[in-house]
């Protein structure tokens, strides 16, 4: 068997056998296939797609390239929630303690942010002393104690995906739906769960800009899940404005804590409640959204979800008093207020522009090796559909270095698109695919 023959078959849109895919991926992982040949294969996939059988085999080979973690010791209904990434997406920090308070568990791999999108790891690492689990043993120990098991990416989990993603990044093959689907699902299948709920962001601030393409991605991931014997549900959520009010790291942790104290923004609430509702329905505890809402309200109102977040922070090396004392988080030295230059209704917020405005002051990474400043960020005070007066404050920028702060301010002003006509408030959930 020769690699060039496999590339040629995929170039000519012929179906590859299991043995051919095994040979290609195993030899690539072993270092016996040069990057230029794998690049040619990835480009052939980009143009010719994969069949259902090819995609399942490709994904399972990626999953099996490293450790597969099971939780035989944890007696909970386990939920793995994954977001494709957006601006202001602090859902995991809110969702995990709610699921735990409801008797479920949330176990997942978490990532760092890149470009205009934030990562769960960066948000939690704004907490002094906080360390993500890096081994199966650490993950199980904390998940047993708190019901929350968040693991940073490890070289031992799906190493093939890491190697392939780096190559896709420099060969213009990142936007391939089968390659995105296999990358996400290989990591989801590497950690055992009872249900996988995927939050696919759609819109200006998301990787998937188009609803039709997002649906295709959702269907391919559900297809992989079925083939692997795993229940997968997909929420398509709106990323045509930042989620919530805070963009950054420490300030997003504050917004998550405030949510668990009952002070929540409508769009963030809609996303969180929808995902928890899907988990409760899959577990068989509720019949509809209203039943789920009552259960979620209860664990927020009685403080049990907030208490669990504090316990998770403590078990991970941080100070649990943080939930009542935000001075324990890093704080930016300076604040710049941003005032609207016009009046009207917010028609649109260019979400990617807001994400970039936060990134250039240090809240995110332009390159993988960039350092993040956990203290800096942006808070926005108006959402789509709301009225803004001229000279009204629409945002605050928290910064430590004034190098790019003026540019950040200009980007925020440009991002707020106003109109004289009233604008309908957008839905946070666009569609649910099961």
State how far the Cα of 152 lies from the Cα of 310, in Å rounded to an integer.
Answer: 19
Q: Which residue has the tokens 């904390």?
A: 142
| Catalytic residue, candidates 81, 82, 215, 245 | 82
CA atoms within 13 A on the CB side of 32: 9
| Catalytic residue, candidates 89, 122, 161, 240 | 161
Please state, as a whole number, how many other Cβ atoms lie within 10 Å of the Cβ of residue 31.
Answer: 8
Strand (E) or helix (H) holding 102: none
For residues 363 and 373, the answer to whether their CB atoms sit within 8 Å is: yes
Closest CA to 307 of 261, 244, 254: 261
State how far the Cα of 119 lies from the Cα of 391, in Å rounded to an integer.
Answer: 33
For residues 373 and 403, the answer to whether their CB atoms sit within 8 Å is: no
SS3 199: strand
| Catalytic residue, candidates 63, 108, 112, 187 | 187
| Catalytic residue, candidates 168, 188, 245, 281 | 168
DSSP state letter for 133? B
Strand (E) or helix (H) holding 399: strand 393-399
Please state, as a whole number, how many other Cβ atoms lie within 10 Å of the Cβ of residue 166.
Answer: 12
For residues 113 and 145, the answer to whether their CB atoms sit within 8 Å is: no
| Catalytic residue, candidates 183, 186, 277, 316 | 183
Interacting residues of 417 by C-beta distance below 8 A, sequence separation 6+? 346, 347, 348, 349, 350
Closest CA to 80 of 54, 104, 59: 104
> Quick check: is 187 catalytic?
yes
Q: Which residue has the tokens 């990323």?
A: 239
> Quick check: is 374 catalytic?
no
> Quick check: is 168 catalytic?
yes
Closest CA to 361 of 313, 293, 419, 412: 412
Using CA of residue 183, residue 207, residue 96, residue 141, what is the dihedral sign? positive
Instruction: Tell how far CA 223 is from the center of its chain.
Output: 20
> Quick check: is 183 catalytic?
yes
> Quick check: is 161 catalytic?
yes
Bridge partners of 248, per DSSP, are: 377
DSSP state letter for 398? E
State how far the Cα of 353 lies from the Cα of 280, in Å rounded to an integer.
Answer: 36
State how far the Cα of 350 lies from the Cα of 91, in Å rounded to an integer.
Answer: 20
SS3 344: strand
Known catalytic residues are 82, 161, 168, 183, 187
């Amino acid at each position: 068997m020769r690699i060039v023959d496999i590339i040629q078959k995929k170039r000519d849109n012929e179906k590859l056998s299991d043995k051919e895919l095994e040979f290609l991926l195993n030899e690539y992982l072993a270092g016996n296939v040069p990057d230029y040949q794998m690049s040619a294969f990835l480009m052939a996939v980009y143009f010719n797609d994969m069949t259902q059988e090819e995609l399942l085999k490709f994904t399972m080979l990626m999953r099996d390239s490293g450790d597969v973690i099971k939780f035989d010791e944890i007696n909970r209904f386990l939920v793995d929630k994954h977001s494709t990434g957006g601006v202001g997406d602090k859902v995991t920090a809110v969702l995990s303690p709610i699921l735990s308070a409801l008797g479920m568990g949330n176990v997942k791999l978490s990532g760092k942010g890149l470009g205009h999108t934030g990562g769960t790891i960066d948000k939690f690492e704004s907490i002094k002393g906080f360390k993500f689990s890096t081994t199966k043993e650490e993950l199980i120990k904390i998940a047993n104690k708190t019901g929350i098991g968040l693991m940073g990416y490890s070289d031992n989990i799906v190493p093939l995906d890491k190697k392939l993603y780096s190559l896709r990044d420099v060969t213009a093959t990142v936007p391939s739906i089968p390659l995105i689907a296999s990358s996400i699902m290989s990591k989801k299948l590497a950690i055992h769960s009872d249900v996988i709920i995927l939050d696919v962001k759609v819109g200006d601030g998301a990787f998937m800009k188009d609803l039709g393409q997002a649906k295709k991605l959702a269907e391919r991931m559900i297809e992989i899940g079925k083939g692997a014997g795993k229940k997968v549900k997909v929420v398509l959520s709106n990323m045509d404005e930042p989620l919530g009010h805070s963009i950054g790291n420490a300030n997003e942790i504050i917004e998550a804590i405030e949510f668990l104290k009952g002070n929540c923004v409508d769009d963030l609430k809609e996303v969180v409640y929808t995902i928890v509702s899907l988990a409760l329905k899959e577990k068989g505890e509720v019949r509809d959204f209203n039943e789920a809402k009552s259960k979620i309200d209860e664990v927020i109102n009685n403080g049990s979800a907030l208490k669990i977040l504090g316990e998770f922070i403590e078990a991970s090396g941080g100070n649990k008093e943080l939930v009542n004392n935000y001075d324990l988080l890093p704080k930016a030295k300076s604040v710049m207020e941003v005032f609207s230059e016009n009046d009207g209704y917010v028609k649109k917020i260019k979400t990617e522009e807001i994400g970039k405005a936060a990134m250039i002051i240090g809240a995110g990474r332009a390159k993988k090796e960039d350092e993040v400043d956990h203290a800096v960020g942006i808070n926005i005070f108006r959402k789509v559909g709301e009225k803004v007066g001229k000279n009204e404050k629409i945002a605050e920028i928290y910064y430590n270095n004034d190098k790019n702060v003026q540019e950040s301010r200009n980007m925020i002003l440009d991002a707020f698109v106003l109109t004289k006509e009233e604008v309908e408030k957008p839905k946070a959930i666009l569609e649910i695919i099961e």
